[in-house]
Structures are given as C-alpha cells and as structure tokens.
C-alpha cells in the first residue's frame, strides 16, 4: 500500500512569480498569493429520448487573482496609460512551484496574455496594524506548462 510522503507536499512559500511586461521581466517578490483557474464553457446538447440534458465543451476562459503588498505602482501606471490613451496592455505571468527536499520536482506554469480587470487607484487604513495589500483580478488567453511535477510513487 502506498502512502503520500509528507516531505513531498509543496509549500506555496517557495513559489516564484515573474511578469513579462513590454519585454521586461519583473520578479513579483512582493506578491502574497496567486490563483488562476481555467474553466470550460459548456453548452447543452439535448438528445431525443434522454431525460437528462448532456453537455459538451465549447471553449474555455482563464481567470485569476493576484494579491500583492501595496508597494508597487507598475499595474497602476499601466492602467493610467490605458485611461489616457485607450491602449490596453497584456503581459505574461510565470509561476514556479518547487519544494526543497521533495521528490515532486518543480512545476512552471505560464499564464499568457494576461489582462488586468481592475487595480486599486489609492488606499490607506489608519485603523489597522496590517500591511496594505491589493487584489488584482485578471484574465488570460493562453496557458502552458514548461516544467511539470514528477510522478510520485509514495512509500
């Protein structure tokens, strides 16, 4: 009987994230968390003689949210440029997960053609001891896995 080895679990604290914006690669060391989702769009396919309504895939949409410490103006500046010129902006996000000592190896995922939905224009909270942070929702139009986790066998 195989069991999952606790040393193979991946901690998100060891992740690395990079944004490629206008050819510049920026390490997102001020990011706290990131989650991206690929959701299939499905359509109903009614079939004569069946009481259920089967569905089939008809595309997909990629969405995500990145939470960062409120210490960088990069995305605010890009949004400002969009407001002033109407020129939208896209960028790529690369996320690598790798746990030292784990036999899982590493996974590097690319979120391609990311487009920010909204940014915080300005903020403060004089009543809180917490550090300022912001959530940046985005969409993406392509996806790739450059490195994939090794198959684990348990013990």
CATH of 6-147, one of 3.20.20.80, 2.30.110.40, 3.90.550.10, 2.40.128.280: 2.30.110.40
- pLDDT the model gives residue 59: 97
Q: Are 148 and 107 in contact (CB under 8 A)?
A: yes
Burial 66-94 (b: 16+ CB within 10 A, else e): bebeeeeebbbebbeeeeeeeeeebbbbb
**pLDDT single digits (tens) 93-151:** 999 999 999 999 999 999 999 999 999 999 999 999 999 999 999 999 999 999 999 99
Measured distance CA(41)–CA(53) in Å, rounded? 15
pLDDT given for residue 152 in this prediction: 86
Helix (H, G, I), strand (E, B) or coil at 95: strand
Distance CA 52, CA 74 (A): 49
- Segment 30-74, tens digit of pLDDT: 999 999 999 999 999 999 999 999 999 999 999 999 999 999 999
Q: What is the pTM of this model?
A: 0.91
């Amino acid at each position: 009987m195989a069991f999952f080895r606790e040393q193979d679990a991946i901690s998100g604290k060891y992740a690395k994230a990079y944004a490629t914006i206008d050819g510049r690669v920026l390490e997102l060391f001020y990011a706290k968390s990131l989650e991206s989702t690929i959701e299939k769009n499905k359509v109903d396919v009614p079939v004569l003689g069946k009481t259920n309504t089967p569905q089939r895939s008809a595309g997909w949409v990629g969405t995500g949210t990145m939470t960062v410490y409120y210490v960088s103006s990069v995305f605010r500046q890009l949004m400002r440029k969009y407001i002033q010129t109407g020129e939208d902006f896209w960028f790529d996000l690369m996320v690598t997960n790798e746990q030292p000592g784990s036999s899982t190896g590493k996974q590097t995922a690319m979120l391609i053609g990311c487009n920010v939905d909204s940014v915080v224009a300005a903020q403060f909270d004089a009543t809180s001891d917490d550090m300022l942070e912001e959530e940046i929702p985005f969409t993406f139009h392509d996806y790739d896995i450059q490195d994939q986790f090794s198959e684990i066998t348990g013990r």
